[in-house]
Structure 1
Amino acid sequence: MENILTINNLTKNFGRITAVKDLSFTIQKGNVYGILGPNGSGKSTTLGIVLNVVNKTSGDFTWFDGNTSTHDALKKVGAIIERPNFYPYMTAAQNLKLVCKIKGVTTDKIDDKLEVVGLLDRKDSKFSTFSLGMKQRLAIASALLNDPEILILDEPTNGLDPQGIHQIREIIRKIAAQGTTILLASHLLDEVEKVCTHVVIIRKGVKLYSGPVDQMNASYGYFELKSHHMNQLKDWLASQPSFGILKEEGDKITAFLNEELEASEVNKKAFEAGIVLTHLVKRKESLEEQFLQLTNNQN
């Protein structure tokens, strides 16, 4: 698989504050990557560094084959990292013509890009008449004018209503289906789960997880258990290699699995150890539970 962007041990300090700490991950061609983390976790700083608008403190990053200068590489990148900024008294088409001039590309793809974002019928409308969602879609069209190999979006649905959010996500899926690699920063787990193939989770600038979205939810799940002899049950669970973390919540013990194990097997083993279970339920962690566990376990 061809690498688009490789980040190695990237660190950024703002005075005494470390915004990004020893961050490493690789973006491969043809995937949709999400940088996911709470607000203030270093997502925007990371994007700013690779786009040459924020200076790194240490570490490095390389675009494409590693032999392309950042200046040349950015000609093959489309990015929106701030609120859309167009001339309000100019039409959508006029604004995009200006962007073409700045980027040094021809204007013959303006209609195509407006169609991709669902704004072709509003090409002659002034920017000042656009809703927030339409402004964001026009910004995506402008970022596509140079037919980028990768599209970078920072919180693309921030501030939008549910319809606007849905439209942006559909556009992202459409662009990805045409073969463009996408990297988006988001604090919304739902967004990453719905549109991304891969995710990098960061908190306070530190990477907690990097890999396919579906593998993040590849845990073995957990059991909720109860018995009339809870201390005996807890000691027995702690002695079983199949179980990892144990939590006591109310009158139940939650036992996280280290390997695949069926409820019937647990019941049989407990009975053989002299423990009668009065409650036994197997559950699978949702992506949200895994995300919260990852981010809450960090100090």
Structure 2
Amino acid sequence: MEPILTINNLTKKFGFLTAVNDLSFTINKGNVYGILGPNGSGKSTTLGIVLNVVNKTSGNFKWFNGTVDTHDALKKVGAIIERPNFYPYMTAAQNLKLVCKIKGVDYAKIDEKLEVVNLLDRKDHKFSTYSLGMKQRLAIASALLNDPEILILDEPTNGLDPQGIHQIRQIIKEIANQGTTILLASHLLDEVEKVCSHVVVLRKGVKLYSGRVDEMISSHGFFELKCDKQEHLLEYLKSNPDFGTIKVENDLITAFLNEPMDAVTFNKLMFEKGMVLSHLVKRKESLEEQFLQLTDKL
């Protein structure tokens, strides 16, 4: 895989606060990466460092395998890390013309990128008449004008209504399908699960997981159980290495599997041990459950 961005042992301290703590991961070409974590986990700080708007404390990063310096590399990057800042009294096309002048891009790109974000029919409307979702889509069009190899988005659906969220996510998928690598920061598990192929999970600046989304949620799942001999069942589950985390809520036992096991096998095993289950359901872990298990460890 061809690396676009490599981060090695990156640390950023603001006084006594460590916002990013010894962070390392690699972004390879052609994937959609999500940096996932709650507010204050270091997502925006990490993006700020690699975009040269925040100074690192220690560690390093390199763009495009170190073949170009950061200044030149950023010419191949499109980024939105703050709210769109366009002139309200100018039209979408006029605003993008200014961006083209700054980036040295041909005006012919304007219609092409407005079409990508479904705003071509509104190109002569003033920015002040745009909804929040349309403003965000215009910002994406602006970031795409220089045909970047990677598009960086910080909380791209923040504050949008459900329709606006859906539109932005569809646009991100379409851009990725055209071969552009995408790196987005989000606190929304649903967003990462639906949009991203890879995820880096952060909490308090520390990396908890880095890898494919489907591998993160490809655990062996869990059983939801009820039994008239609940204490005996709990004792068995806790002593059995096939099971990991055991949770009890009201009368429902949730037992996470360390090894593959189907419901029929488990039901038969319990019957042989004199325990009759009144409730047995096997479920697959969601990204949310995996995320909660990861963050519970800190």
**TM score, norm. by length of structure 1:** 0.94
Equivalent in the alignment of 2:205? 205
Report the equivalent of 1:16.
16
Please state how far the C-alpha of 1:280 moved relative to its aligned partner: 2.9
Unaligned runs of 5+ in 1: none
Contact kept, 8 Å, 2:6 with 2:65, in 1: the verdict is no
Assess, with a 3 A threshold, how the Cα gap between structure 1 residues 228 and 57 changes in structure 2: closer, same or farther.
same
Counterpart CA distance in 2 for 1:168 and 1:226 is 42
Aligned match of 2:120: 120
The 5 Å alignment of 1:62-141 reads: 62-141=62-141
1:173 corresponds to: 173
Distance 1:222 1:177 in 2: 34
| Alpha-carbon displacement from aligned partner over 1:240-295 (angstroms, at most 9, x marks no partner) | 22112222332343221111111222233333334444433322222222222323
**What RMSD over aligned residues (CA atoms) do the two structures have, in Å?**
1.6
Could you tell me how far 1:32 is from its partner in structure 2? Answer: 0.8
- How many residues align? The count is 298
8 Å contact 2:11–2:58 — kept in the other structure?
A: yes
Corresponding position of 1:162: 162
Residue of structure 2 in register with 1:292 after alignment: 292
Provide the C-alpha distance between the structure 2 equivalents of 1:249 and 1:123, rounded to a whole number of angstroms.
Answer: 54
Q: Which residue of 1 aligns with 2:45?
A: 45
What corresponds to 2:222 in structure 1?
222
Partner of 1:31: 31
Closer, same or farther in 2 for the Cα pair 1:151/1:247, shift >3 Å?
same
Give, in whole Å, the separation in 2 of the partners of 1:28 and 1:53.
Answer: 22
Residue equivalent to 1:239? 239
The whole-number CA distance in structure 2 between the counterparts of 1:199 and 1:121 is 35
**Inter-CA distance 276–190: structure 2 relative to 1 (3 Å threshold):** closer
Query: In the alignment, is the contact (CA less than 8 A) between 2:23 and 2:206 conserved in 1?
Result: yes
Give the counterpart letter for 2:244 in structure 1.
G
Q: Which letter does structure 1 place at the counterpart of 2:149?
A: E
1:85-111 Cα distance to aligned partner (Å, 9 max, x none): 111222211211111111122222111
SS at match of 2:112: helix
Q: Percent identity?
A: 79
The 3-state SS of whatever aligns with 2:66 is coil
Change (3 A) 1:131 1:224: closer
3-state SS of paired residue (1:185): strand
The code of the aligned residue for 2:223 comes to F
Most deviating of 49-58 and 118-127: 118-127
Q: Does the 8 Å CA contact 2:11/2:19 hold for their aligned counterparts?
A: yes
Which one is further off, 167-176 or 76-85? Answer: 167-176
